[in-house]
Amino acid sequence: MSPRATGSVLSAPALIGRRAKEEGAFLKACVRSGLLRMNSPATAKAGLHAYRTRGPLGAIMALSVTRDPGAIAFIDERGETTFGQFEERTNALANAWSAAGVNAGDGVGLMMRNHAGVLEALFACVKLGAKAIFMNTSFSGPQLASVSEREGVQVLVYDEEFEDVVKQVSAPSGRYRAWTTTEGDDADDTIHGLVSRGDTTPPPSPSRHASLIILTSGTTGTPKGAARQQPKSLAPFGGPLSVLPFKGGETTVLPTPMFHSIGLLHSLIAVGLGNTLILRHRFDAAQTLKDVEEHKATGLIVVPVMLRRILDEHDKQGRKHDLSSLRIVFAGGSQLGGTLATRAMDTIGDVVYNLYGSTEVAIATIATPEDLRKAPDSVGQVVTGSRVRILDDEGRDVPHGTTGRIFVGTAMPFEGYTGGGTKDLIDGLMSSGDVGHFDDDDLLTIDGRDDDMIVSGGENVFPAELEELLAAHDAVSEAAVLGVDDEEFGQRLKAFVVLESGQDLSEDDVKAYAKDNLARYKVPREVVFLDELPRNPTGKVLKRDLK
C-alpha cells in the first residue's frame, strides 16, 4: 500500500521532504504543460511581480497577458476577447469598484452563467484583493440574500435574468448586470458600461491576496460557503496537470458551470496556459458538438449528465461531427459510472478522465483512460499532493478491497465553512462523506455516500451498485436509487428509472433484471418510472426531492 494512498502520519523532517518532492513534481508538470513557459525576461518579471503582489491567480494571468496579449482568451455569444483586452477590462473593473468603496477583503458576489464576464469579475477581484463569492444560479431570493449578508457582499454582479432573485440583496457599493437581455448594455449599472468608461491602468497592489468562496448547492436551508485562500504552492495547477495532458495554446470547450469547482478549476487552468475557452450562456448538447468541431477543441469539461446528453445527441445526429481533435474529456462533479465511461471511450476514443473530489476536499484522485479501461467504475489513483485513507468506524485503516469511509488530505486545505463548522477530521485528513475501497492496483472506487448505506436483511447495501446496473440496461437512460423502510428486511431499495426514448420496460422487468445480476436483498422493492430525474445545476441528482 503506497504512502500516497494511505496518508500515513510522518515526522516533521519527512513531511518537509515530501512537500519539497511534491512541489518539484508540481513545477515539472507546470513547465511541461506550458503554464510556466517564459518566452522573455519581461514575462518572467511580470509573473514574479504578480505572484508577490496578487498571488498565484494574479501570476497566471500576468504570464498569459505578457506572453501573447493578442491571443484569444474567451469566445462566447458576444464574440472574442483577447488576453490584452482581458487585462484592460479587469483593470477598469477593479478601478471602478475601488472608487465605489470596495477594499481588499471585501466580498464580491458573482451570480452568473458561463460567459467572459465571470472571469472578468473574478480577476478584477484578484487585482483588488477582494473575496470572490461564487453563487449557485439555482439559489432562491431568500437564500441569496442570506448568503450575501453572511459573506459580506459589497458588490453584486449578476445576469439580468436573475433580476427578481437579487432584489433582496443589499450591496453597498452597487449591483451590476453582467449579461443583459434588454436594451442598456452600456448603462451605468452594467459591467460593460463600467469598463467602457473606466480607467484601464493597472490598479495599485492590494494589501492582501484575493480569496475564493464556493457555495454548496443549498437544496435545503442556507447554502454553506467553502473558503480557500490562494495557497503558497503550485498544487492547484501542478496536481491536475501531473495527470491531465493539457498544453498551452490550445482550445477548451467549457459547458460546466463556472460557479462549480470543476468549471472554475479548468477556467483557471485555461487562463494560465494561455488557452482559448469556448463559453456558452446555457448548455446545449448540439451546440457543444458544433463547438468542438468548429474550434478543433482539444479539451471538453463536463459533468456526467452533460456527457450523457452529448453522446445521446451525437448518436441522434448520426455521429456526423468530427470530434477527433479531443485529447481530454474531463468529467467530475458527480459519479461518472463505468457504463457511461466505457460508452464515451468507445464513441470518442480513450480520452476520458474522471475526477474524484469535492468543494471541501478539493482533488483526491483522477482516473486516466487506462485506469477506466482496467476498472471502469473507478475514480483512479491518488494525485500528487493528495493523501487518501479508507477507515473503519473506529478510525483504523482497512485492507485493500474492503469498503470504509474515505478521508482526504490535500495541499489546498479547506478552511471550514464560512458560517462555522467543518467536516470530520482524522489525523489531519477530512471526511469526503463517501465510502469506497482501493483495489490491488491502488485504484479507488466509490461505493456510495456514507449516509446512503442501508442495512437490508443484515447486509450492508449501497444504492450505487443498483444504479450502475440499471444504467447499463439498453432500455434505461438513467436511474437513481434510495433506501426505504421494509417490514421484512428492515430496509430495501427503491428505484427511480428514466427510460430511453421509445423504450418500454415494466416494473417486473426491472426487478427480474436486478435479480439476475444481484443478490436478493439488492433487488428493488419498488420501481418508479419518471420522465427525468431532479437535478441541481451541476447535474447531481436531488435525492431529497425523490424522497
Is the same domain home to 203 and 245?
no
Q: Work out the widest C-alpha separation in the chain, in whole angstroms.
A: 74
Instruction: Kindly tell me if the per-residue pLDDT of 545 is higher than 90.
Output: no
- Going by DSSP bridges, is the β-strand pair 454-456/459-461 parallel, antiparallel, or unpaired? antiparallel
Look up the CATH number of the domain holding residue 527: 3.30.300.30
Task: List the grid coordinates of 287.
Answer: 451546440
Mean pLDDT over all residues of the chain? 90
pTM exceeding 0.95? no
Residue type, 423: K
Is the same domain home to 279 and 425?
yes
pLDDT band at 58 (very low <50, low <70, confident <90, very high): very high
Q: What is the pLDDT of residues 9-34, one digit of tens each?
A: 566 777 778 888 888 999 999 999 99
Is the same domain home to 91 and 210?
yes
Q: Report the distance separating Cα 184 and Cα 131, nearest Å.
A: 28
Predicted pLDDT at 13:
75
Q: What is the pLDDT of residues 80-132, one digit of tens each?
A: 999 999 999 999 999 999 999 999 999 999 999 999 999 999 999 999 999 99
Is the same domain home to 237 and 317?
yes
Q: Report the distance separating Cα 442 and Cα 382, nearest Å.
A: 8
**Residue 97 near residue 120, CB atoms below 8 Å:** no
Q: What is the pLDDT of residues 139-180, one digit of tens each?
A: 889 889 989 999 999 999 999 999 999 999 999 999 999 998
Is the same domain home to 321 and 347?
yes
User: 420 vs 456, which has greater pLDDT?
Assistant: 456
Residue 63 is assigned to a structural domain of this protein: no
Final residue belonging to a domain, choices 210, 230, 250: 230
Residue 68 is assigned to a structural domain of this protein: no
Most confident of the ranges 224-238, 316-330, 458-472: 316-330
Is the same domain home to 430 and 491?
no
> Structurally, how many domains does the chain consist of?
3
Final residue belonging to a domain, choices 163, 197, 230: 230
Is the same domain home to 502 and 397?
no
pLDDT band at 216 (very low <50, low <70, confident <90, very high): low
Residue 472 is assigned to a structural domain of this protein: yes
DSSP state of 397: B
For residue 405, which of 429, 384, 386 has the smallest C-alpha distance? 429
For residue 217, which of 48, 334, 53 has the smallest C-alpha distance? 334
Backbone dihedral angles phi then psi of residue 21, each to the nearest 5 degrees: -65, -40
**Residue 285 near residue 309, CB atoms below 8 Å:** yes
**Alpha-carbon dihedral sign for residues 90, 96, 98, 101:** negative
Using CA atoms, how far residue 504 sits from 275, 313, 457, 480, in Å, is 45, 20, 31, 18
Q: Report the distance separating Cα 278 and Cα 322, nearest Å.
A: 17
Is the same domain home to 258 and 393?
yes
Q: Report the distance separating Cα 500 and Cα 497, nearest Å.
A: 10
Is the same domain home to 136 and 22?
no
Is the same domain home to 388 and 485?
no
Look up the CATH number of the domain holding residue 190: 3.40.50.12780
Predicted pLDDT at 362:
83
Task: List the grid coordinates of 399.
Answer: 485492507
Which residues touch 257 (CB under 8 Å, ≥6 apart)? 113, 114, 137, 263, 537, 538
For residue 117, which of 59, 176, 69, 168 has the smallest C-alpha distance? 176
Instruction: Kindly tell me if the per-residue pLDDT of 377 is higher than 80.
Output: yes
Is the same domain home to 293 and 419?
yes
**Alpha-carbon dihedral sign for residues 69, 73, 75, 78:** negative
Domain of 218?
78-230
Residue 70 is assigned to a structural domain of this protein: no
Residue 253 is assigned to a structural domain of this protein: yes
Predicted pLDDT at 542:
85
DSSP state of 160: G
For residue 18, is it left (φ>0), alpha (ψ between -120 and 50) or beta?
alpha
Is the same domain home to 419 and 271?
yes
Final residue belonging to a domain, choices 173, 198, 230: 230
